[in-house]
Amino acid sequence: MSEFTDTGERVASQTAETTTATAALAAEDTRKAKHPVALAFQQISLRSSSAAHSTTSNVQSRIMELAWRQKYSQASAYPFEGGMRVPGDDAVRPVNITVEQKQCGEQDGTGTGAVVWNAAHVLASFLCKESQRGTNHILPSSRVCDLGCGTGLTGLLAAKFCTEATVMCTDIGPVLELTLRNVATNSIPNVAVSEYWWGSGTLGKSCFDVILIADCILPKLYPISPLVEALDELLSDSGVCFVSYEHRVWWEYDPREKFRELCEGKGLVVERITEDRLDDLYRGDDLYVWAVKRYTK
Ligand SMILES: C[S@@+](CC[C@H](N)C(=O)[O-])C[C@H]1O[C@@H](n2cnc3c(N)ncnc32)[C@H](O)[C@@H]1O
């Protein structure tokens, strides 16, 4: 957190500097406009003021990104507010899910899944935006699984898309008590919770049409290959897995490359979801969403 706060302060002071620089440029432009060679200067100042403007809006969008990323990071509850449009809806309808979080889950044994990670919010917002654009990935017949669900936010959202679809939220250990509480407090009936160790074979084979994975590629903590084993084990032939990933540098290899390589080894194709399909606010340069499908000739 101190890293984020520090960055936030730095960005804020950069904004102040940029604003001062923009004002100075404007004053300079006024002075030059009175000069006999004003025309030539105007051309130059127009170019520089538009560059300053774009720097300012870049900084502002970075501050907005920091703001949403930090907003509930220390809170005991994480509210997700989105909008979805499912077949039969005339308009986008609001969707609200609030999950309980536990701070210090790593220390008390609950594990890393005790809080909502940024990549989970990005994945949830992406699914909402897709539905608003007319693409519903969760259909009445869909069998859906949230792997490494933690608090359960992404699985609970998936269940809201279609009450006839069943959603299986999976994780390991004590965090599942938190997942169960979140299912109960949100009163979402079409969700089941189960312990599942990646690649263990205990959930069956090829049994899910849609798999969600939010921020489970963290080689510093967990090896990537069991996760890919799980994906290969559980994904049906025509199924799709949406994976959200936050990039963190790892000294041994690039986690993005490693994940892609391991998937390819299983005949799974990884395609990056383009920026325009992500939510306008809930995104970041280090946050990715991929669609993984089985390779078909
Ligand atoms: C960083 S958390 C992400 C939680 C949630 N998806 C989110 O984004 O808010 C990673 C999750 O993966 C789970 N996990 C790690 N290794 C696992 C394994 N081998 N089998 C099953 N789950 C595992 C952890 O328990 C944890 O809940």
pLDDT digits (tens, 9 = 90+) for 230-272: 999 999 999 999 999 999 999 999 999 999 999 999 999 999 9
Check residue 289 and give its pLDDT. 98
- The alpha helices in the chain, defined as continuous H runs, are 2-33, 38-70, 105-108, 118-132, 153-161, 175-185, 225-234, 255-265
The string of DSSP letters for 214-280 reads ES---TTTS-SHHHHHHHHHHEEEEEEEEEEEE----SSS-HHHHHHHHHHHTTEEEEEPPGGGS-S
How do residues 84-134 score in pLDDT, each as one tens digit? 999 999 999 999 999 999 998 888 888 899 999 999 999 999 999 999 999
Coil/strand/helix, residue 129? helix
Distance CA 178, CA 183 (A): 9
CA of 137 to the centre of ligand 1 (A): 23
CA of 113 to the centre of ligand 1 (A): 6
Q: Whose CA is nearest to atom 23 of ligand 1?
A: 148
How do residues 37-90 score in pLDDT, each as one tens digit? 454 545 545 566 677 778 888 898 899 999 999 999 999 999 999 999 999 999
Check residue 284 and give its pLDDT. 95
196 Cα nearest atom in ligand 1: 21
CA of 193 to the centre of ligand 1 (A): 14
Check residue 38 and give its pLDDT. 52
Residues with CB under 6 A from ligand 1: 111-113, 116-117, 119-120, 148-151, 171-172, 175, 197-198, 214-216, 218, 222, 226
CB 149 within 8 A of CB 88: no
CA of 203 to the centre of ligand 1 (A): 16
Q: Token pair for residue 221? A: 């903590």
Check residue 107 and give its pLDDT. 87
Question: With pLDDT > 90 as the criterion, what percentage of the chain qualifies?
Answer: 75
Pocket-testing residue among 145, 151, 176, 222, ligand 1, by greatest number of atoms within 8 A of Cβ: 222
How do residues 186-211 score in pLDDT, each as one tens digit? 999 999 999 999 999 999 999 999 99
How do residues 150-191 score in pLDDT, each as one tens digit? 999 999 999 999 999 999 999 999 999 999 999 999 999 999
CA of 112 to the centre of ligand 1 (A): 7
Check residue 42 and give its pLDDT. 56
**Across residues 12-17, what is the average pLDDT?**
42
